[in-house]
Structure 1
Amino acid sequence: MAHQLRWLRTNTLCLVIFSISGSLYGQSVPERGNSFLSQKSGSPAESKAYFLAMEITNRAFTPALHNPASEEYQAMYKEVNDLLNIIYNCPDISACPTYVFYGGVAAMTFRPGSVIANATVVFHTTSINQFIVLAVFLENMKNYTPQTLKLNLDYTQKTPPIRVESFVPTTPVTTSTTSTATTTKDHCIKTCIETCVLCDGK
């Protein structure tokens, strides 16, 4: 069984690389550091989203993980998001054939058991399916170091990715305090004096 799974992953990756090589012939690869979402204007019809479940064994669930505004949720979201970015968006196209069309995480929820992360990942292409999503995940997760997040790969394998037709985006809610400046002429003059910047009170 293990041999068959390795064969499936290897051959799936080969097919992905082959198909991408053909589809990208003559096209330039986006520069690293730029968000692929900003590189592509993929409409919903040109994109596919998949529900990916992961069991994180070295984290403990807390009720705060249900709240996107909590620090716990934001920290866990970042860890999982960074991991998926490494898996699907690494610069080596032989290891990450999804690099050029990975659109990132659109939604994420958590539930108990140690921590189950349910992520909706987006790919700006129609030339992908759940088998490719799973094969790339399993293959790259094996080579992921250092493994700050420990995953039970059997869980993901038994709960394979599912195509998502629609979803409600969930992104971490960051809170910050900003001071609201008044627009009075007195305040403007005071600011000009303190910062040595000219202003006319407008």
Structure 2
Amino acid sequence: MLSLTRSPTTQFGWNGKVYDIDLAFDTVLLYLQLQQDSKVSAFGKWRQSCKLFFGRQKLPADPRFYEKSFETIQKIITDSPYGAKDDEDGGAEATKQFDYVRDAGAIYASFFDQYGIDLNKERGKMHWDTFKALLDGLSPNTYFQRIIAIRREDSSKIDDPTAKQDLLDAQNYYAVDGSKTAAELQEQALNSGSLSGLFDSLLSSAQKGGN
């Protein structure tokens, strides 16, 4: 999460060497989108994830490097200063409230309206921590937050049939696919143990093939 006393993380140290990590907001969004792509194999996701975050750097052939580096990336992406949001019944949100791809236009418009920031000009520059802080700080009057409010409103509490139908129509129009929360999707996508195990298996296969 964003800190006012230290710079956002952009590097990862391992065995005396320092590796740059690209944690620009658009890189992270591409990564999260990649994890939900059922057409890409587990190995393909792992390989593309490494390219997204580490680019063309020569990386060590050590599964622990990937385990620890992705633990760091996971913490940066998922950290929240206030914990998980709860619904009115006190439990974790049961449905996905927004989608970075589907809601891209609303997020863009809201950043431009409230902050005067053109996110297209910030690609490759604005750190994920900064993006998240600004996203969380969007006012209820912004386009994005109005959509979120529509999705969260409980139609069962509306007595007027016309108003209730209007809300249901709006919720259907702005609906997002999936039943998992954004945090659950990120946790699934950032399973560093699985990534490490996959790399370990691939490394072992490569070594056997070379003998």
Report the TM-score when normalising by structure 1.
0.24
Q: TM-score, normalised by structure 2?
A: 0.23
Larger Rg: 1
> 1 or 2, which has the higher strand percentage?
1
Greater helix share, 1 or 2?
2
